[in-house]
Structure 1
Amino acid sequence: MPHQPNTTKGRRTRTKLLEAARSVFARDGYVGATMSGVATEAGMSLGGLYRYFSDKEDLFAALIADTHDDLFRASGATEHRIEDDPYQALLEANTGYLTHYYDNRDIMRTLVEAANVDPRFRDFWWQMRNRHIDRFTTVLKLKCAVEVVDGVDVRGTVEALACMVEQSAYVWYAQEEMQRAPMPIEEGANIVTRIWHRAFFGDDH
C-alpha cells in the first residue's frame, strides 16, 4: 500500500513527487511516463517513490484528483444570475472554465491521452463532463424555464455546446504550440459565450 504521510516532511515529499510527476507527464505523456522517470525528476530513489504511490496509475490519479473539483467550481462561480443577465453569467462561467483549463493545460492534455488508453481515466473524464452538463441543464430548466431547444430536449444542446467548449479549450490551450497565434482567454470566452447565448436565448448580446 502507498504511504499516506502524516508528518510535515512526508507531506512535503509527496508534494515534491507530484510536482515532478506533473513535469514528467507533461513532457512524456501518459503512455511514455514512467515511475523511474518521476523518481529521477524528483531526485529520489524509485523505492522511495513507491512508498508514496503504488504505480503510475495511482500517481496520475493523485495528480488529477483536485483538478476536476477546481474546474467545476471555477465554471460555477458567477456574480451574475443567469435568469437576470444570461450573457454575463455565461461569460463568467466560460471565463472561469477556460482560465482554469489554461492553468492546468498540461494535466488536461495528459488526461485526454489517459482516457483513451485506460478505462479508469475514461470513466473519470466521463463523470467530469457529465457533472458540468447536468448542472447547466438543471439551471436552464429551473431558472430559465428552458426545457426544449428547436424541438430537442435541452440536455442534448447543452451536451453539444459543452463538447465545443471542452474541445476548444483542448485545441487552444492543451495544444497551444500548434496554434498559429495564441488565443487569449478573454477572446476565447467571448467566442463560445456568443454561441451559447444564441442557442438558448435566441439573439446575440
Structure 2
Amino acid sequence: MTSTDEPTAGKPRRGPVSTPVPAPAATLTARGQRTRRALLDAGRRIFERDGYHDARIVDVATEAGCAVGSFYNYFDSKEELFKVLLIELEGEVYREPARLPPDAAPIDRLRETNRLYFESFRRNSAFWAVVEEAGLQSKEARQLLNDRHHYYRTRTERALALWQTQGMIPPEVNLRFASTALGAMTERCAYLWFVLGETVDVDEAVEEITRLWADALKLDDGRA
C-alpha cells in the first residue's frame, strides 16, 4: 500500500508488533475508502465460505487484493471486521418502512416491517448462518450479538410504548417481554425458513407473523 492508500493513522498500539490504530472510516481518503470497502466485501465472502471460526485475516486480505499488513490500517481484528459487517447488515434488515406514509396504521407498519425483515433475511441468509455460528463459538461475538439484540429490542419497545400511550395497546401488556418474545419469534422463523431451508410462502408468512404480533399486543388501531 502506498501513502495515498493509507488512512490517517493514530498512535501505534502496544504489543509485540507496532501496528497503526485503524482510522475512522470518515477520515479515509477516497482510495482508502475503496480499500476498506474491498476488505469488507472480501471479509463477507470469506466468512460465508469458511465460517466464522475458520475465516482468516490472510484470506480476507488475499481476496481483497491487499497485503495482510494493510488490513490493520482499517480493522483491529477479525472480530471488528465481523462487527462492521453485522452492523451494515442490520442497517438493511431493520430499516424503517419507507414505502408507508407517516400516518400509516400500526398494523400496516407491522406488516411492512415484517416484510422488509424477511426479504432482507432471505437475501442475506448465508451471512445469517455465520452470525448463528459466531454466537455459539465466540465469547466476543456472543457479547456483540447480545448488545445488538438489546439495542433493537429497546428500539422496538419505544415504538410500542408510543402506541400504548395512544391507547392502541392496553396497559397490561408488558412491552419489554413482548418486544423480546415477538422479536425472537420473528428472527427464529426467518432462520428456519431462509437459512435451514424450510419451505414457506413469504406473503403468507408475513400475514401470519403480523397477526401473531397484533394478537399478542392486543393491538387496536381503531379499524376493527
- TM-score (normalised: structure 2): 0.73
Cα distance in structure 2, aligned partners of 1:76 and 1:147 = 29
1:196 aligned residue = 213
Larger radius of gyration: 2
The answer to whether structure 1 residue 51 and structure 2 residue 51 are counterparts is no
Do residues 159 (structure 1) and 183 (structure 2) align? Answer: no
Q: Name which of 121, 125, 148 aligns with 1:125.
A: 148
TM-score, length of structure 1 as denominator length: 0.79
- Asked whether the equivalents of residues 153 and 183 of structure 2 are also in contact (C-alpha less than 8 Å), the reply is no
Return the letter of the residue paired with 2:172.
Answer: V
Contact 1:86–1:197 (Cα < 8 Å) also in 2: no
**Structure 1 residues 158 and 63, CA, compared in 2 at 3 Å: closer, same or farther?**
closer
Structure 2, unpaired ranges of 5+: 1-20
- Cα 1:48–1:134, aligned 2, differ >3 Å: closer, same or farther? same
Percent of pairs with identical residues = 29
Q: Per-residue deviation at 1:49?
A: 1.8
For the Cα contact (< 8 Å) 2:111–2:207, is it kept in 1? yes
Distance 1:77 1:135, change over 3 A: farther
Q: Contact (CA 8 Å) 2:61, 2:68: kept in 1 or not? A: yes
Alignment-derived partner of residue 179 in structure 1? 197
CA RMSD between the two structures: 2.8
The change in CA–CA distance for 1:77 and 1:163 in structure 2 (over 3 A counts) is farther
Alignment equivalent of 1:105, drawn from 107, 125, 142: 125
Distance in 2, matches of 1:109 and 1:90, equals: 25
Report if the CA contact (8 A) 1:78-1:93 is conserved.
Answer: no
Amino acid in structure 2 at the alignment position of 1:53: F
**Which residue does 1:92 correspond to in 2?**
112
From the superposition, tell whether residues 25 and 145 of structure 1 become closer, same or farther in structure 2 (CA, over 3 Å): same
Asked whether the equivalents of residues 153 and 179 of structure 2 are also in contact (C-alpha less than 8 Å), the reply is no
114-123 vs 12-21, greater mean Cα deviation:
114-123
